[in-house]
Structure 1
Amino acid sequence: MTSGASAAEPRVVTERQFLDELASVTRERVATQFLYLMAQEGAVVGVQWEQPGVDHLRRYRVRDACPHCVVLAAVVTLAPVLPLDGLRAGRARPQYETVLRAGRLPHLAFARPAGPPGASWLGDCHAVDGDPHSDADCPRHAVPAPTGDPLALRPGSLPRAVRELYPNDGAATADLARRLRIAQDWRADAQAVASGIREAAATWAFLRNSCVLGVPVPGANGLVLTLPPGRPPDDRPLGELHEATVRALPSGGGPVPYQELACLLPEPASTTQRMPTYAGAVDLTAAAPVRTLRLPTPRRPLSTTGRGVLLLYEARHAMGRHVASAQVRDSAYWDSEAALNVFEFTLLERVAGRHYQEAVAAYLQALRREGDLLTRPHKVLDRRRRKALSLAFGGLDDEELHLWASVAYRNAILELLGDLKAFATHLRLQAG
C-alpha cells in the first residue's frame, strides 16, 4: 500500500527546508525499514520511507540548489539520524556520481540492519533508466552520458614515458594492442553477466565509464602509467614523472584520495593465476593513487560467465575503496565484506539460476543437519548437482567448479544465520 502523497506534484522548497523536513520525518517514522533518496527526471528529488504495509513517498523540487548536490547533502544529514557509519556515508558520493556519469538516474537505498538498535544502516546505489540531467545541475554534475570508450587508444600518440618501457615504438604498439584485447574480452564478459541485473548496473557503469587502460612500470611494484583516451601525449620522461609524483604525494604516508578513474591492468604473459584481483597503486601519469584491476591471461581460462562474475565482484570491491591507506579491519570493514559477498550471491542466482540455488539448498540442509560448519563441504554436492552447476556456466573444470561450490556454501551460511551482521562476524572469525 502506498500513501496518497506519492501522487502529489513535487513541492517547491529551499535546500534548508528539504534537509530539515527529511531529518524530522525520518525521526518520526521509527518503523522505517528502507529509505530511498532518488534523483528523478525534471530536477525532482524523491524520498521514500518504506514501513511494513505502507510506502510513504514525497517528491521535491529544490529551487536554490543542484538536485544532485541536494541528494548528497541529504546523506550527510541522515548519517546521525539513521545512523550511517563513515564508510557507508562516504561511499554514497562516488557510487552516486558513477551512475550519474553513465547517464542514468541514481537511487540511493538504505536498509535497516537486523542487528542491535543503533547499528549502522546498510547502503547501496541503484541505476534507473531515465535522463538525470536538467538546467538546475551544477557544473560538477552537468555531465552528459559518455559517448567515447575509455579503452579507446591511438597508438601513434603514446606518452613518452610509456614508449620508454619498450625497445621501440613497434614493440610498444604490439604489446598495448595485446593488453587492449585482453581488457576488452574481460569487460565483455562482465557486460554479458551484468545485462538485465539491476543490482549490477552501477558496477557495470563503473567498469564501462571509469576504467582506463594501464601498464605497470617494470621493476617498480605498485607503479603504473594510465592511458586515458583523448589526453594529449605527455612528453615528460619516466624519471621526471616519478620525481613529480614523489613531490606531489605526502611524505608522511597519510591517507590520500584515489582518482575518480580506475585502471585495468591486463597481463599478456601466460600465468597460473586465473582470477582478476583488485589493488591500489600509484599512477605516475597523474601523480596520484589509482585503483587497479589486474586481468590475468591464464593457461587454463575460466568460463566466460565465471570471468564476468569475478570481474564485477572485483570492480564492486574497487568502487568501495576511496582512500589510499592501510585498511582498518573494523566492524565497518566486515560489514562491507558481507555486502560484497551478497552482491556476488545475487549475480550467481541470476546467471546460474536454479542449479546454483539447488547447490545452496544442499549446503543449507547439510548445515542444519550437522548443526555447525561442515567438516567436509566438498562431499555435499552429489554428481548430479555438480554436473548441473557446471552446465549452468557452460561447462567447468574441477578447479572452477570447486570455486563456485565454495561460494554456494558461503551463501548457505548466510541463509542459515539469517542476518547480515552475523554473517559479517562469521567472515571475520574465518579470516582469523
Structure 2
Amino acid sequence: MTPTLRRWTTRVVLLATILAVGGPSATFANVSKAETASVETVTEPTLEPTAEPTAEPTAEPTVAPTVAPTATTAPTAVPVCNPKVDLSGWFSSNSVGKIQNKSTTCSYNVGMASYEKMDEVIDHQVIYSWATGQVGPNSILALSVGVPACAAQIDLFYGGVLHSLDGQRYGDRLITARHTGGTNYCGVIPTVEPTTVPTLEPTPEPTLEPTLEPTPEPTTVPTVEPTLEPTLEPTAYPTPTNTPAPTATNTPAPTATNTPAPTATNTPAPTATNTPAPTATNTPAPTATKTPVPTATKTPVPSATSTPAGKDCSYTQGYWKNHPSAWPVTTLVVGGVTYNQSQLMAIFNTSPRGDTTYILIHQLIAAKLNTAQGANGSTINATIAAADAWLQQYPLGSKPSGAAASTGNSYATQLDRYNNGLIGPGHCN
C-alpha cells in the first residue's frame, strides 16, 4: 500500500470515529474533502506497469538480431579461387587463343593444344602442337600453337596438357574449343610417307646390268657363222657333176631354206634394246641429296654467339625457334646425337604429329639452350639427363607407345614448365 493510500485510510477511520461520537466538525470536513480530491488524482499505479514492460521488451529483441548477422562475413573468403568462375577464353585465330583471369587474387596454370582428327571419334585424335603458361590476377594470357592443314580440334584449358585423348578428356577443365578443316581428316596422310622411299632406290639398279651383257653376245656369234659356211659349199658342188642324176636333188633344198631365216630375225633385236637403257641412268640422284646438308650450317655459326651473356632466366621453345641469332651455342648433343644449328632448326620445324620423340626433343633442345645461356638448371638437370637417356633408347621418329610414350610425355611436361618459367629461375622478360 502506498503512503498516500495509507494516510487516507487512517483519516477515514478517524472521521468515522468522530461522527460516531458527536458529528463532524468543520476541520475534519475540510480534511475529508481534501483527501477525496487527492485520491482521485493519484497516478502512481499507472506509472509502474507502463514503465517496466515497455523498457524491457524493446531493449532485448532489437539488440540480439543485429549482432548475429555480422558474423556472416567469414564464409565469403572460401570460394575465391574458382577457375570455372574466374577464367574465360576465346580464339583470335585458329592458332592463337587468349585466356582472361577475372580473379583479383588467384593465378592459374593454363594451356592450349591442337589435335589432328582421324575421324569423328575423339579417342582417335593425335596431339599436334601445344603450349602452356600461367595467367595472373586481372590479366589476359595469349597462347600460340601450330595447326595442321587437315581437320583439327583446338582446346583452351586450365591445368596440365593431355598428350592423348584416348579414354580421357579435359571435362570441367575445358574453357573453350574450336574445330577446323571440316571432314578433311588426317588419317590418309601417313600413307604418303612410305610410298616415296622404296620407289627411288630399286628402279635404276636392275635395268642397267641385265640389258647390257646378255643381248650383244648371242646375236653377233650365230649370225656370222651360219650364213657364210652353208652358202659357199652347196654352190661349189653342182658345177663338176653336170650330166644326169645329182642336179635335180641338190639345188632346191639348201638354197631356199638357209637364206631368209638368219638374216631377218637377228638384225633389229639388239639395236632397239640397248640404246635407251644406259642414257636413263640416275645421275641426278646423288647430287640432289648431298648439296643442302653442308651448306645450311655456314650462316648462323659466327652470329649466334654474341647476344646472350649469362641470363639467369628461361625462354620457351617458340622463342628459340624464332630467334636463331640469339642461340648461345651452334651445336648440341641431344639423345646421344650431335646436331648442328641447321639440323636443330629442322627438328624444331618438324611437327610432332603425335610422335612423343619429337614432342620431347623440342622441349629438350629449348631447355639445353636456356642452361647454355646461363639459366640455373638445378631444378631440371636430372630431367634433362633422363630425357637424353630416353631418346637414346627411343630414337627420333620411332613413335613409341604405351608406357614408353607416357614416360617421354612426362619428361616433356617438366621441361615445358622449366622453359615457361613455372619452375627454375623464371621466364625472361
Normalization by structure 2: what TM-score?
0.27
Higher radius of gyration, 1 or 2: 2
Higher helix share: 2
Higher RCO (CA-CA < 8 Å; seq separation 6+): 1
Normalization by structure 1: what TM-score?
0.26
